[in-house]
Structure 1
Amino acid sequence: MMKKVILMTGLMVWSIALFAQDKPLTIENYYKLKWGHAEEFIALWKKNHYPLLKKLVENGDLLRITAEIPVLHSGEDTRWDFKVTTTFKNEHLALDYSIADPYKKQLFPDRESYAKAEQQRFELVLAHWDVIVESVPLN
């Protein structure tokens, strides 16, 4: 599963890098989780990933973070359990996966515990996809 996520992320990065511009980039991250484990996943996300995103906001690299859960259920083929939307200052920052590394060392000095918690979080994921979106002017 992790190898597939890394490969897909790499392909996305490569394709976006070809068209990178200096304008904000919004990405919706969808997570489909094992039944009954959404709360556990969200708690781990808030503990281990959200602090990193908040540091990126403080630094000005990330402009906005929102998180949502569905209120009503959908069919299994279209189900998602958690969505995080991030808007980066520009496309280059959105594609630089190393920008959070200094904060990881600062926020999580016990690298072994952090790695275990992240492994646990990803073991709860059945599917994950990222969608780059942009607003459509209606006027």
Structure 2
Amino acid sequence: MKKVITIITGLLLITSTWNKLSAQSETSETTIENYYKIKWGFAEEFITLWKRNHYPLLKKAQEKGDIITVVAEKPTLHSGEDTRWDFKVVIRFKNLQAAFDPNLTTPYKKQLYPDLDKLNKEEQHRFELLLAHWDVLVEQVKL
């Protein structure tokens, strides 16, 4: 019974949070930080593939107005293995719907990449280089 109550409480919390975000979604800019932890020695290859295959799609969405900014960073110093990330992309979207639209960049793929098989193979390889990937929805704190 405890497990059922815990699951229901969790679902209610998720629903409440989503409803709050959805209420703001039409007008509020949304920022998501994407972190990538890459196999040792393959960070530059991953970044090269990301810049060649994914960044142009984001730029098209930016031209359309769904994305406001795209900023990529990599650390200059190392950290511990448990906290290590090798590449971070911060994307500011015009609203929550754009941020969570699974087809945001789909219309541009065929336009930018006539050889979709090559694109898919390179993207599959890029993800094979990953050890971990996480996205963080962030909001500014007024000070």
Give the TM interval when normalised to the shorter protein.
0.7 to 0.9
- 1:105 deviates by 1.1
CA deviation map 1:65-96 (0-9, x unaligned): 00000111100000000000000000011111
Cα offset for 1:17?
Answer: 4.9
Look up the match of 1:109.
Answer: 114
Distance 2:131 2:71 in 1: 22
Q: Does 1:42 align with 2:47?
A: yes
Percentage identity across paired residues of the two chains: 60
**C-alpha separation between the residues in 2 aligned to 1:26 and 1:58?**
17
- Residues 117-136 of structure 1 mapped to structure 2, 5 A cutoff: 117-136=122-141
2:142 corresponds in structure 1 to 137
Question: Aligned with 1:50: secondary structure?
Answer: helix
Shift of 1:137: 1.1
- TM-score, L = length of structure 1: 0.86
Does the aligned pair in 2 maintain the 1:27–1:132 contact within 8 Å? Answer: yes
Query: Can you give the 5+ residue segments of structure 2 that lack an aligned partner in the other structure?
Result: 1-13
Whole-angstrom CA distance in 2 between matches of 1:59 and 1:124: 30
Which of 71, 81, 85 aligns to 1:66? It is 71
Equivalence for 1:99:
104
* Contact 1:17 1:92 (8 Å CA) reproduced: no
Counting only pairs closer than 5 Å after superposition, residues 16-27 of structure 1 correspond to structure 2 as 17-18=18-19, 19-20=21-22, 21-22=25-26, 23-27=28-32
Give the aligned residue type for 1:73. Answer: H
Mind listing any 5+ residue stretches in structure 1 that lack a counterpart? 1-13
